[in-house]
Amino acid sequence: MLRKSSIVIIIMLLFSVFLFSEESKADKQVFKTTADRLNPTEKDYPSGRATDMIVIYTPEFGERTGTNQWGVEAIIVNGIVTKVGGNDSEIPKDGFVISGHGIGADWIREHLKKGAMVMVKGKKIKIQHGTISEIYDVDSALESAENYFKKKNNIDDIVKESEKSNKATVFLGKKIEAEKLLTEAKKLTSEKKNQEGLKKAAEAKKIANDLFYDEIDSKDAEIRGVWHRLTEKSPEELIKTLDRLKEANFNAIFPETWYHGMTIYPSEVVDQLPEFQGWDPLKVLVEEGKKRGIEVHVWVESFFVGVEEKRSLKHYKNWLAVRKDGKIISELEKGYIYLCPARKESQELVLNVYKEMVKKYAIDGLQLDYVRYPRSMPYEKGYCYCEYCQKEFKKLYGVNPLDLTPEGNPEMWENWRKWREDNITRFVETVIKELKAIRNDIEISAAVFPEYESALTEIMQNWKLWTDKGWFEFVCPMIYSDDKEWVDKATKNFLKLAGNTPAAPGIAPFMKIPTNDIIEQILVLREDGTAGVVMFALHSVTDDLIYALKRGPFRQSARTGIEIKNK
Ligand SMILES: [Zn+2]
Q: Give the burial string for 165-182 (b: 16+ CB within 10 Å, else e).
A: eeebeebbebbeebbebb
Residues 373 and 341 reside in one and the same domain: yes
- Which of 194, 215, 236 is the C-terminal boundary of a domain? 215
Ligand 1: centre distance to CA 399 (Å): 15
Ligand 1: centre distance to CA 327 (Å): 12
Ligand 1: centre distance to CA 126 (Å): 49
Domain of 202, in residue numbers: 131-215
Q: Residue 261: what pLDDT?
A: 94
Query: Is the per-residue pLDDT at 41 higher than 80?
Result: yes
Ligand 1: centre distance to CA 314 (Å): 17
Q: What is the pLDDT of residues 138-188, one digit of tens each?
A: 988 999 999 999 998 999 999 999 999 999 999 999 999 999 999 999 899
The mean per-residue pLDDT over the stretch 96-103 comes to 96
What DSSP character marks residue 349? H
Is residue 6 in some structural domain? Answer: no
Residues 38 and 183 reside in one and the same domain: no
Residues 357 and 481 reside in one and the same domain: yes
What DSSP character marks residue 511? G
Query: Is the per-residue pLDDT at 1 higher than 60?
Result: no
Residues 273 and 191 reside in one and the same domain: no
- Which of 198, 215, 232 is the C-terminal boundary of a domain? 215
Q: Which amino acid is at 446?
A: A
Beta carbons of 465 and 556 less than 8 angstroms apart: no
Distance CA 552, CA 517 (A): 13
Q: Are strands 95-101 and 54-57 parallel, antiparallel or unpaired?
A: antiparallel
Ligand 1: centre distance to CA 370 (Å): 16
What is the DSSP track for 50-117?
-TT-EEEE-GGG-SB----SSEEEEEEETTEEEEE--SSPBPPTTEEEEEEETHHHHHHHHH--TT-E
Ligand 1: centre distance to CA 429 (Å): 19
Q: Residue 216: what pLDDT?
A: 96
Is residue 560 in some structural domain? Answer: no
Ligand 1: centre distance to CA 466 (Å): 23
Residues 255 and 206 reside in one and the same domain: no
Is residue 564 in some structural domain? Answer: no
Ligand 1: centre distance to CA 416 (Å): 12
Residues 250 and 264 reside in one and the same domain: yes
Query: Is the per-residue pLDDT at 407 higher than 60?
Result: yes
Ligand 1: centre distance to CA 383 (Å): 7
Of 131-135, 292-296, 377-381, 432-436, the range with the lowest mean pLDDT is 131-135
Ligand 1: centre distance to CA 320 (Å): 7
Residues 69 and 152 reside in one and the same domain: no
Of 301-315, 447-461, 486-500, the range with the lowest mean pLDDT is 301-315
Q: What are phi and psi of 118, to 5 degrees?
A: -130, 130
Ligand 1: centre distance to CA 392 (Å): 9
Number of domains in the chain: 3
Region for 451 from its dihedrals, namely left if φ exceeds 0, alpha if ψ lies in -120 to 50, beta otherwise: beta
Residues 211 and 260 reside in one and the same domain: no
Ligand 1: centre distance to CA 358 (Å): 28
Query: Is the per-residue pLDDT at 565 higher than 80?
Result: no
Q: Residue 312: what pLDDT?
A: 67
Q: What is the pLDDT of residues 190-210, one digit of tens each?
A: 898 888 998 999 999 999 999
Residues 142 and 111 reside in one and the same domain: no
**Where does the pLDDT of residue 11 fall: very low under 50, low under 70, confident under 90, or very high at 90 and above?**
very low
Residues 202 and 231 reside in one and the same domain: no
Is residue 9 in some structural domain? Answer: no
Is residue 240 in some structural domain? Answer: yes
Instruction: Please report, to the nearest 10 degrees, the dihedral formed by the alpha carbons of residues 462, 468, 474, 480 taken in order.
Output: 40
Query: Is the per-residue pLDDT at 528 higher than 60?
Result: yes
Ligand 1: centre distance to CA 386 (Å): 4
Ligand 1: centre distance to CA 448 (Å): 21
Ligand 1: centre distance to CA 321 (Å): 5
Ligand 1: centre distance to CA 477 (Å): 26
Distance CA 419, CA 215 (A): 51
Ligand 1: centre distance to CA 343 (Å): 6
Is residue 487 in some structural domain? Answer: yes
**pTM for the full model?**
0.88
Residues 105 and 137 reside in one and the same domain: no
CATH number of the domain within which 492 lies: 3.20.20.80
Residues 360 and 418 reside in one and the same domain: yes
Beta carbons of 436 and 406 less than 8 angstroms apart: no
Ligand 1: centre distance to CA 432 (Å): 23
Q: Are strands 443-448 and 474-477 parallel, antiparallel or unpaired?
A: parallel
User: Which residues does residue 366 pair with via DSSP β-bridges, in sequence order?
Assistant: 298, 444
Ligand 1: centre distance to CA 353 (Å): 20
Ligand 1: centre distance to CA 171 (Å): 62
Q: Which amino acid is at 288?
A: E
- Which of 173, 193, 215 is the C-terminal boundary of a domain? 215
